[in-house]
Structure 1
Amino acid sequence: MIGIVVVSHSNKISTGIVELCKEMARDDIKIISAGGTRDGRLGTDATLIMEVIEEANSGDGVVILADMGSSIMSSEMAIEMLPEKIREKTIILDAPIVEGSLAAAIQVCISNDLEDITRAGTEAKYMNKVSS
């Protein structure tokens, strides 16, 4: 199963997104929070993100959704620290963190194809929230 990692500067935000996705998709999907720092502060931690990627990995691939700025940079650093076998199947999605995570989680329930899940997550940035 494709794993999903949600990276935010705030553990409360990433944990809340994971909770929402499990409620809206399925509870048994591999979606894991990597928010905040190990000591509970706001920020990001590349080593923590790397460990969460390894936990989310089942061999099929991992997609990462991150909030902004250093969460992207820390995710890139985490990917660089991974063994090549995991690194080559780990992707950071260019997507809004909430909508992209939810779209990816739902797509995981439909298809275990990394390309399909990547497409669903990135297309979430084009969703209309309000009709004109």
Structure 2
Amino acid sequence: MAKVGIVLVSHSPKIAAGLQELIGQVITDIPVETAGGTEDNGIGTSIDKIMAAMKKADEGAGVLVFYDLGSAKMNAEMAVEMMETEQIIVMETPLVESAYVAAVESNMGKSLEEVQKTVEKDF
């Protein structure tokens, strides 16, 4: 059964990787992908990295995207527009806590809409 994927967008590759590691300590059965930093792993974000992470995280149940700062949100939204799908949602909730809750909810087999509503309700 396909589960909702998670994409972690951060200006720092280390923050994205650290959060992926934290989630992976408890949840291992869902796709959690990172898009941290620029193409050369500097501080910033990359639309290409975000799109690649979205594609990799999408197993057919949809993808929720979490970000750290405003320009990461802007690039995530542009990436979603370029992907031309309604199955990818950019969340406007705290990066660490809400991504973790989303991973738990996805692991329980909930739908994209159910995971989104739980995260938005909690944060």
Q: What 5-or-longer segments of structure 1 have no aligned partner?
A: 126-132
After superposition, residues 20-99 of structure 1 pair within 5 angstroms as 20-24=22-26, 26-82=27-83, 84=84, 87-99=85-97
Following superposition, the deviation at residue 111 of structure 1 comes to 2.6
Contact 2:23 2:103 in 1 (8 A): yes
Root-mean-square deviation (CA, aligned residues, Å) is 1.1
Q: After superposition, what is the alpha-carbon deviation per residue over 1:57-112, rounded to whole angstroms, capped at 9, x for unaligned?
A: 11110000001110000001111111x3xx21100111100000100000011133
Mapped partners of 1:115, 1:75: distance in 2: 19
Q: Post-superposition shift, 1:123?
A: 3.1
Aligned 8 A contact 2:34 2:53 in 1: yes
**Mapped contact 2:7–2:34 kept (Cα < 8 A):** yes
| Cα offset, 1:12, TM superposition | 0.4
TM-score normalized with structure 2 length: 0.93
Q: Give the corresponding residue for 1:129.
A: none
TM-score (norm 1): 0.87
Structure 1 residue corresponding to 2:98, chosen from 79, 100, 110: 100
**Fraction of identical pairs, as percent:** 38
SS in structure 1 at match of 2:36: coil
CA shift, 1:124, in A, is 3.7
Q: 1:7 pairs with 9, 19, 25, which one?
A: 9
Contact 2:37–2:43 (CA under 8 A) maintained in structure 1 = yes
Are the equivalent residues in 2 in contact too, given 1:95–1:124 (CA < 8 A)? no
Decide which moves more: 115-124 or 103-112: 115-124
After TM superposition, the runs of 4+ consecutive aligned structure 1 residues lying more than 6 A away are none
Matched to 1:5, the amino acid is V
Range with bigger deviation, 108-117 or 12-21: 108-117
Q: How many residues align?
A: 121
Q: Which amino acid aligns with 2:72?
A: S
Alpha-carbon contact 1:4-1:63 (below 8 Å) kept: yes
